[in-house]
Amino acid sequence: MEIPLPLVARGKVRELYAVDDDHLLLVASDRLSAYDVVLPTPVPDKGAVLTGLSLWWFDQLADVVPHHLVTARVAEYPAVLQPVAGALRGRSMLVRRLAMVPVECVARGYLTGSGLADYRATGGVCGVPLPDGLSDGSLLPSPIFTPATKAEVGEHDENVSFDAVADSVGRELAEELRRVTLAVYARGAALAAERGILLADTKLELGHDRSGVLTLGDEVLTPDSSRFWPAAGWQPGRAQPSFDKQYVRDWLSSSGWDRTAPGPELPASVVEQTRAKYVEAYERLTGSSFDDYLRSA
């Protein structure tokens, strides 16, 4: 369904539209990426699960940092959007436009991905020194702030040191980004742990509102912005199973696909198992029924 607003940005699996000078509409699709490729087969309700999780986390984090959400109830959206309300329900958010800080704010409690690559090359991550002997999936001595600069479309974000962030945006703001990012991680990891889920790492986008207040933007603590691992399967020294995408990765690995675009269509069984994992993530983390969320949106 065509959204009757100017497109501001298109990510791999979501879109951002201009509503007016002060507001944007964030729309999450049901597309899924694996091994950096967007797959041709959508996972029904994935966009709604990620949106519902962000909404819940914004609420959980409200005493840590203010957020950009205005409303996710389509009946409260501007009149121009009412003809497409059905297409937006559950998977969109009307948000305040922020002046985004040009830093990807990442916190890590466990070592994997680009953090692991950085550690193997330098003995630390983003200039933060780490003890010897860590491996893929290791618990870090304490969570660390590992900022990155946003890459061009198709490129990976580049890890940078805290000092590089301070040189770019000023030391005071850099320190505020680190403090907020680690506080969001701490709250997220604690809540997830109560539900048997490890939060390995998370990426935040922060911006300033019209009054200059540092505000949480974008999506937050979703499976697309964070790594969630089942606590029961955690075993450092190997790649950890992903809470949400493991069925997809396992199927893709045995499919013979060479990881170049376009990816293969997924079988219905993989789609259904993956949808169930997303819904399970929503229900385990929030303690609420996903059907109730959809009815409320």
- Give the closest residue to 127 by CA, choosing from 92, 159, 149, 172: 159
By the rule CB under 6 A, 204 interacts with ligand Q0Z: no
By the rule CB under 6 A, 85 interacts with ligand Q0Z: no
By the rule CB under 6 A, 157 interacts with ligand Q0Z: no
Which one of residues 90, 137, 147, 217 is an interface residue with ligand Q0Z (CB under 6 A)?
217
- Give the closest residue to 241 by CA, choosing from 197, 192, 208, 202: 197
By the rule CB under 6 A, 210 interacts with ligand Q0Z: no
Phi, psi of 24 (to 5 degrees): -125, 160
Per the CB < 8 A criterion, the answer to whether 163 and 128 are in contact is no
Which one of residues 98, 216, 252, 271 is an interface residue with ligand Q0Z (CB under 6 A)?
98
Candidates 79-87, 92-100, 245-253, 278-286: pick the segment binding ligand Q0Z (CB under 6 A): 92-100
Tokens of 63: 């005493």
Rg (alpha carbons) of the chain, rounded to whole number = 19
By the rule CB under 6 A, 26 interacts with ligand Q0Z: yes
Give the nearest distance from C-beta 95 to ligand Q0Z in angstroms: 4
Which one of residues 24, 72, 134, 252 is an interface residue with ligand Q0Z (CB under 6 A)?
24
Please classify residue 159 by burial: count the beta carbons closer than 10 Å to its beta carbon, then call 0-12 exposed, 13-18 middle and 19+ buried.
buried
# of chain residues touching ligand Q0Z (CB under 6 A): 18
CA 70 to chain centre: 19
* H/E segment holding residue 143: strand 139-145
By the rule CB under 6 A, 95 interacts with ligand Q0Z: yes
Tokens of 119: 């550690």
By the rule CB under 6 A, 218 interacts with ligand Q0Z: yes
- For residue 205, the SS3 value is strand
Question: For residues 10 and 259, which CB has a smaller minimum distance to ligand Q0Z in the complex?
Answer: 10
Contacts of 154 (CB under 8 A, 6+ apart): none
Candidates 41-49, 89-97, 107-115, 248-256: pick the segment binding ligand Q0Z (CB under 6 A): 89-97
From residue 160 to residue 189, what is the string marking binding to ligand Q0Z with x (rule CB under 6 A)? ------------------------------
Candidates 72-80, 94-102, 139-147, 275-283: pick the segment binding ligand Q0Z (CB under 6 A): 94-102
- Give the closest residue to 26 by CA, choosing from 13, 17, 37, 39: 17
- Give the closest residue to 196 by CA, choosing from 293, 283, 108: 283
By the rule CB under 6 A, 105 interacts with ligand Q0Z: no
By the rule CB under 6 A, 68 interacts with ligand Q0Z: yes
By the rule CB under 6 A, 9 interacts with ligand Q0Z: yes
By the rule CB under 6 A, 111 interacts with ligand Q0Z: no
* H/E segment holding residue 206: strand 197-208
Binding site for ligand Q0Z (CB under 6 A): 9-11, 14-16, 24, 26, 68, 95-98, 100, 205, 207, 217-218
